[in-house]
A and B are shown apart, each in its own frame.
Chain A
């Protein structure tokens, strides 16, 4: 069965700090991978996606993620966070089931 694990439930950073959020998935077949962001009180928005090709993908707002097939991981990174990055971040694999399976999410708080 398809599943996903996000290790960091709550991350607190100061502005300009670097960010890395872990995501591991379990699925044996071909999988597409997504990171979504949910700002307070808002809906989910797509941050970035990986379908194939270069395993390092760049998304909006300076975020990037690296797909490491051997580790079943798709960690999200940003070199320097801003206060406006305060939000909840969800990793979601998409396999043959045709539905996004979401992790429990990571709540990021950035303090000025």
Chain B
């Protein structure tokens, strides 16, 4: 059973470009969470999705950020018009049901130049 797969592992974007981060949850997991980790900081919750539904997006910036988890395919975190402050590690986690432990992917390290 493969773990949570994130790609790409490293992503470099120029200011103003779009970044698309992908997350394939573990088999049988229908709950996906996205977190952002800035240098010297902990993980900040961004969004919680179930298949085709956004359950909680209280941690998502109001502009430029969006997330989806379609019926088929991976979950996508999309950042439009990236700025230097978006540089961070973005981690995806999945779980099989509510209120249980989540399993994390290796993360995508986004660098905006």
Count the B residues whose beta carbon is within 8 Å of the partner chain — how many? Answer: 23
How far in angstroms is the closest Cβ of chain B from A44? 4
Which among B41, B99, B107 is the interface contact of A32 at CB below 8 angstroms? Answer: B99
How far in angstroms is the closest Cβ of chain B from A11? 15
Set of chain B residues within 8 Å of A34, measured between Cβ atoms: 101
How far in angstroms is the closest Cβ of chain B from A10? 10
* Chain A residues numbered 96-112 whose CB sits less than 8 Å from any CB in chain B: 97-105
- Residues A43 and B91 in contact in the complex (CB < 8 Å), given A32-B99, A94-B99, A98-B55: yes
The digit string for B102-113, where 1 denotes a CB below 8 A from any CB of A, is 111111000000
Is A74 part of the binding interface, using a Cβ–Cβ cutoff of 8 Å? no
Is A46 part of the binding interface, using a Cβ–Cβ cutoff of 8 Å? yes
Q: Given the complex of chains A and B, what is the CA–CA distance between A69 and B101 in angstroms?
A: 20
Is B65 part of the binding interface, using a Cβ–Cβ cutoff of 8 Å? no
Set of chain B residues within 8 Å of A103, measured between Cβ atoms: 42
Set of chain A residues within 8 Å of B54, measured between Cβ atoms: none
Is B33 part of the binding interface, using a Cβ–Cβ cutoff of 8 Å? yes
Q: Given the complex of chains A and B, what is the CA–CA distance between A44 and B35 in angstroms?
A: 11
Would A44 and B104 count as touching, CB distance under 8 A?
yes
How far in angstroms is the closest Cβ of chain A from B26? 13
Would B48 and A99 count as touching, CB distance under 8 A?
yes
Most buried by B among A44, A45, A101, A103: A44
Is A70 part of the binding interface, using a Cβ–Cβ cutoff of 8 Å? no
- Residues A101 and B45 in contact in the complex (CB < 8 Å), given A42-B106, A44-B91: yes
Q: Which residues of B contact A (CB under 8 A)?
A: 31, 33, 35, 41-45, 48, 55-56, 91, 93, 98-107
Ordered by A's residue number, 8 sampled pairs between the chains whose C-beta atoms are within 8 Å are A34-B101, A49-B101, A98-B48, A98-B99, A99-B33, A99-B45, A103-B42, A104-B42
